[in-house]
Amino acid sequence: MKPFQLASRDHCATDTIITIVTPSRKVLIGEGYCTVIAGPCAVENKHDYLYLAHHLKDLGADILRGGLFKPRTSPYSFQGLGRSGVDILAQARLETGLPVITEIMDVRDLDTLYPHIDILQVGSRNMQNYSLLEELGRLDKPVMLKRGLSATIEEWLLAAEYVLKGGNKQIILCERGIRTFEAYTRNTVDIGAVPLIKQLSHLPIIVDPSHATGKWKMVAPIARAAVAAGADGVMVEVHQDPDRALSDGKQSLTPENFARMATQLVRHAQINLKQAASQALL
């Protein structure tokens, strides 16, 4: 048996599909769906976030992202609004009807985030924070598990195993690029991880081309490549004024660029669905 027993296709041959329900919408993440998660790297203030949230809803986003706790390399960089920003995400969720996702870094923040957040994200730096993973395994809420900076596929799936072992079956894997010798991009995108995960595991996988490349001009091409490779969706950073963003402005799309990318992804997803249907008839 594979070391990642519960995450493997040997354990479950059927693709896991995550269903997220808000009072006005149902969103699916899994085989056959191209789910688009979008929003700024960090929630900066109430006015700007709500404005962008409504704009992204109109442009076709399925889920809103927004960081409250930002694990930055430098302790002097913007660390996020923290708990004071939860009400902003909750209001955006209420006004738009879209589910929201944010990163959790500490189990002590669970009680604050749990009632208002639809998906709890484990960032790459916490992929092997086993105490956090075990706690998330006890919840009945979807967890997005980002691949670690230098994690192998097996280490990544074993991290998911910690959550699965606790009883939580709602896990979304996120490929966000890995650290290599290449310096022209922020990280190196492992597109090959997408079909490999599809072979090894029943869990859905999405790609984060913003963190993977660190350059906004590369986000749309990598997003299209991800969908073509079979990813269940993408998560991208969008900011109304990237030059003034408090974090990761260089990799953030403007709403106009996001709209163009979203249109392209819909076309690619439709092609993939037609190909899958044709193969099913063979």
pLDDT of 30 over the 50 cut: yes
pLDDT of 2 over the 60 cut: yes
- Mean pLDDT over 61-90 rounds to 91
Nearest to 63 by CA among 213, 200, 234: 234
What pLDDT score was predicted for residue 33?
A: 83
- Phi and psi based region of residue 184 (left: phi greater than 0; alpha: psi -120 to 50; beta: remaining): alpha
Dig out the tokens for 157 from the structure.
Answer: 């799936």
Per-chain mean pLDDT for the chain: 93
Domain regions of the chain by residue span: 18-70+78-271
What pLDDT score was predicted for residue 62?
A: 96
pLDDT cut 90: percent of the chain above it: 87
- Mean pLDDT over 11-35 rounds to 92
What pLDDT score was predicted for residue 78?
A: 83
Q: What is the CA radius of gyration of the chain?
A: 17
pLDDT of 275 over the 60 cut: no
pLDDT of 31 over the 80 cut: no
pLDDT digits (tens, 9 = 90+) for 210-256: 999 999 999 999 999 999 999 999 999 999 999 999 999 999 999 99
Which amino acid belongs to residue 61?
A
Dig out the tokens for 124 from the structure.
Answer: 């790459």
The CATH number of the structural domain formed by 18-70+78-271 is: 3.20.20.70
Confidence of residue 80 (pLDDT cuts 50, 70, 90): confident
Cα distances from 67 to residues 77, 88, 132, 166, in angstroms, run 14, 11, 18, 26
Confidence of residue 272 (pLDDT cuts 50, 70, 90): low
What pLDDT score was predicted for residue 252?
A: 97
Beta bridge partners of 119: 101
Q: Are 128 and 159 in contact (CB under 8 A)?
A: yes
Which range among 31-35, 170-174, 178-182, 250-254 shows the weakest confidence by mean pLDDT?
31-35
Buried b (16+ CB within 10 A) or exposed e, 65-101: bbbbbbeeeeeeebbbbeeebbebbeebbeebebbbb
Record the pTM: 0.94
Q: How many CB atoms lie within 10 A of CB 154?
A: 12
Cα distances from 172 to residues 1, 18, 73, in angstroms, run 22, 8, 25
Which range among 19-33, 85-99, 143-157 shows the weakest confidence by mean pLDDT?
19-33
What pLDDT score was predicted for residue 59?
A: 95
pLDDT of 279 over the 90 cut: no
Burial class (CB in 10 A: 0-12, 13-18, 19+), 108: exposed
What pLDDT score was predicted for residue 278?
A: 46
- Mean pLDDT over 161-185 rounds to 96
